Structure 1
Amino acid sequence: MTGRRDRVITVLQAGRAVAALSIVAYHAAIATRDYAQALPEAAFFAFERGAFGVDFFFVLSGFIILHAHRDDPAGAAAARAYAVKRLMRIYVPYWPVALAMIGLYLVLPQVSGSQRSWSLVTSLTLLPTGAPPALAAAWTLVHEMMFYALFLLSYFVRGFAWIVAAWVGLILAGIWLGLETSYAAPTWLSLFAPINAEFVAGMLAALAVRRASPAWAGPALVIGLAALVAFFALGTDPAGPARMGFGFAVAVLVAGAVWLERAGSLAAPGWMILLGDASYAIYLVHNPVASLGARIAGRFEALRPWPVSLALCILLGVGFGLAYHLAFERPALAFLRRRQARGRSLAQAPR
């Protein structure tokens, strides 16, 4: 791809930052409630909405994958490059955190407040086995990997749009049939979980941005915001299939924001871009760190009040995630990309 599409879309990075911070706040509220002091019901309800940050991530992922790879050539070579890029992006930051959690649970199983079971296979591979990974938040990565695998078909099948349409059809059929698809402990049936439709919503938003004029920015923002307000006003069950409505409302908002940036009317500030860059690292490390922070707060009277504990958990989750990004994730990925580029140069050099 060339031109404007090669540039970073700053509002997408800002969206990733918002999604990560929402999830951090949600898990910080749970940790504070469990280990320090219970939050007032209204406050906990508000922070609980942060769970929808996962849906936001799925929409952004669908948008970014289509935006970045829609113009890739067909065939095995491009498919291999896509697969290596996505696997490296997921596993390189993930494995150190996953191995740390596996080691912690093996040595100190009582650390898990719920004494929950977990799968070593899922923890290491992110394959759906019906049991959750050691890192609780990694259940979303299992869905992410399913989506990446499905998108891989676009390199070999001309009618990929029909495959996506069939996927949505099967998701809707599963809802109608009452198919049980666990989010936290994914199985292969989780490919048809309603939340996966949000990847499709993101891809549709990316297609709309590619094909329509930025003049649609205003209507998209109005429609998306109205749909979002309606979603929350209706008190939709966060665990039910109607959760897809949030994803599609956010997808319309994302399209509107990208159109505004394309028109030169909007850009994210640098600190949000940095947090967006670090959003995956924050997502990986925040929950164990927030849990530890809340346990510490629960032992000291000055830190026990829920606003103090909550703030401590959020700061620790974001701070450790940002440090992990700067100290490991970013340099490790940069090193591997340089190795890849050097390998390609050597392979193309005349002999």
Structure 2
Amino acid sequence: MNPVAEPKIAVPHARRFEALDSLRGVCAVLVVMFHMPVASHWRDWGLVQHGYLFVDYFFVLSGFVIAHAYAGRLKTPRDAGRFMVRRLGRVWPLHVLMLAAFIGLELARLWFDIDAATPFTRDRSVTSIFTNLLLIQALNIHPYLTWNGPAWTLSVEVACYVVFAALVLFVPWRERGVWRVVGAVMAVIGAVLVATQAPRWMNTTYDYAFPRAVYGFFLGCLLQGVWTAIPRLKGHAATALEVVTVVAIAAFIAWAQGPVAVWATVLFVGVVWVFAGEDGALSRLLDTRPLVTLGRWSFAIYMVHMFVLVVLLIAARKLDWMPGGRRIDFGSVWINDLFAVALFVGIVGLAILAHHGVERPAQRLVDRLTRPASRTP
């Protein structure tokens, strides 16, 4: 979801999983912190240094939500086509907007010589514009991330949608959930590929991104098939379990490096299971309006933040704000902290505009166009 835009996280005709949506917002913030090139107090925390792992929560959550919303509704190829149009309609418009913004920045390089980078080369090539438009840019086509780097998750997420639809439609004994077993086998294969073949293990994007996404997405699908059958704690016991879960995932991500980080996805499966129940005090906190709203903005935050950071880096180099050449540093870590907070506020502000100006209108349009025609008696 992609970090990634999802359908409303809801049980049909019952309730929404607001806590899971809010956690998606928290994870999006941590991904932004991971990318933010400012010498703040928190920049060297393990939780931030390994913040790329929070993307895997998006994949697990996406599999859980997509399986819940669509596994019982995809019965014909036409259903699958409608599903794909709806999914693309939720992610592609904002992706294209940000791609256009990056192309505009590249034209500024070409026309106004705003920095030393050669326009339309390497990760900003003309060829990669088309692979980005087709959302295939992270399927091991290019030897690096291209244009809006974080959009690699959309590329592999859409590929997971295609595989999901094919499994649900064509694997025998759909009603028995055999497709989930096949998906789980694929998830294991994806984990093994990432652990044994990816040069940077879980910090893999353009090369082993698809196995990484399959690993999380289809474990999420498997979880969705069994989560209601797993007994859940209530009251204070549920609160204790939620606290232990949050501490465990935070400690693991702060510590995990190398191939052991592959286990982060399994821990995120546990996170989704624990907070899907919404039975503890932390879930009630996550259900509050500010955090729920953050969750709804999370896709836009994720999609716009890299453009803001790239523009900032161009300005920072011209203004000599990067004395070490790697991070913005004003000579005082407290001033750096304030700058980082102000930068994040600016990112959120732009994300809100993108959410209300592009993301939501596009979703409403696609929902209207793909709504099944009502049958007359």
Change (3 A) 1:223 1:322: same
Relative to structure 1, is the Cα distance of residues 210 and 41 closer, same or farther in structure 2, using a 3 angstrom cutoff? Answer: closer
Q: 1:320 to 1:252 in 2, by over 3 A?
A: same
In the superposition, the TM-score normalised over structure 1's length comes to 0.80
Distance 1:15 1:224 in 2: 13
User: 1:25 maps to which residue?
Assistant: 33
Q: 1:96 Cα deviation (Å)?
A: 1.3
Cα drift, residue 222 of structure 1: 6.5
User: What is aligned with 2:22?
Assistant: 14
Match of 1:117 in 2: 123
Q: TM-score w.r.t. structure 2 length?
A: 0.75
Superposed CA offset, 1:180-200 (max 9, x none): 5883323xx64334x542223
Conserved? CA contact 1:139–1:183, under 8 Å: no
Q: Distance in 2 between matches of 1:20 and 1:12?
A: 12
- Name the counterpart of 1:269: 288
Aligned residue in 2 for 1:35: none
Aligned partner of 1:317 among 347, 361, 370: 347
Is the alpha carbon distance of 1:44 and 1:225 closer, same or farther for their aligned partners in structure 2, counting shifts above 3 Å?
Answer: closer
For the pair 1:148 / 2:153, whether they are aligned, the reply is no
Give ranges in structure 2 of 5+ residues lacking alignment.
Answer: 1-9, 173-177, 322-328
Residue 4 to residue 51, structure 1, CA distance change in 2 (3 Å):
closer
Q: Distance in 1 between matches of 2:295 and 2:283?
A: 20
Structure-2 residue corresponding to 1:89 = 90
Q: Which moved more, 1:141-150 or 1:166-175?
A: 166-175
Higher helix share goes to which structure? 1
Q: Which residue of structure 2 lines up, in the alignment, with residue 191 of structure 1?
A: 210
Give the counterpart letter for 1:274 in structure 2: T
Query: Residues 220 and 255 of structure 1 are in contact (CA less than 8 Å); yes or no, is this contact kept in structure 2?
Result: no
Specify the code of the residue in structure 1 equivalent to 2:35. Answer: H
Identity percentage of aligned residues: 24
What's the counterpart of residue 67 of structure 2? 66
Cα separation, partners in 2 of 1:262 and 1:91, compared to 1, 3 Å:
farther
Describe the SS at the equivalent of 2:16.
coil
SS across alignment from 2:373 = helix
Q: Corresponding residue for 1:278?
A: 297
- The root-mean-square deviation of aligned C-alpha atoms, in Å, is 3.5
Q: What CA distance in whole angstroms lies between the structure 1 residues aligned with 2:195 and 2:347? A: 39
Q: Secondary structure at the match of 1:344?
A: coil
CA distance in structure 2 between the partners assigned to 1:310 and 1:265 by the alignment: 28
Give the deviation of 1:173 after TM superposition: 4.2
Please report how far the alpha carbon of residue 308 of structure 1 lies from its aligned counterpart in structure 2 after TM superposition. 2.6
> Which amino acid in 2 is paired with 1:276?
G
Kindly tell me: are residues 263 and 210 of structure 1, through their superposed partners in 2, closer, same or farther at Cα, counting changes over 3 Å? farther
Q: CA–CA distance in 2 between the matches of 1:316 and 1:259?
A: 34
Distance (Å, rounded) in 1 between the aligned partners of 2:340 and 2:156: 29
Residues 58, 198 of structure 1: 8 Å contact kept: yes
Aligned residue runs from structure 1 range 160-175, under 5 A: 160-175=179-194
Equivalent residue letter for 2:123: S
Aligned-partner Cα distance in 1 for 2:75–2:116: 46
User: Residue 134 of structure 1: CA displacement?
Assistant: 1.0
1:281–1:322 Cα contact (<8 Å) kept = yes
Corresponding pairs, count: 332
Which residue identity does 1:124 align to in structure 2? Answer: L
Partner-residue secondary structure (3-state), 2:123: coil
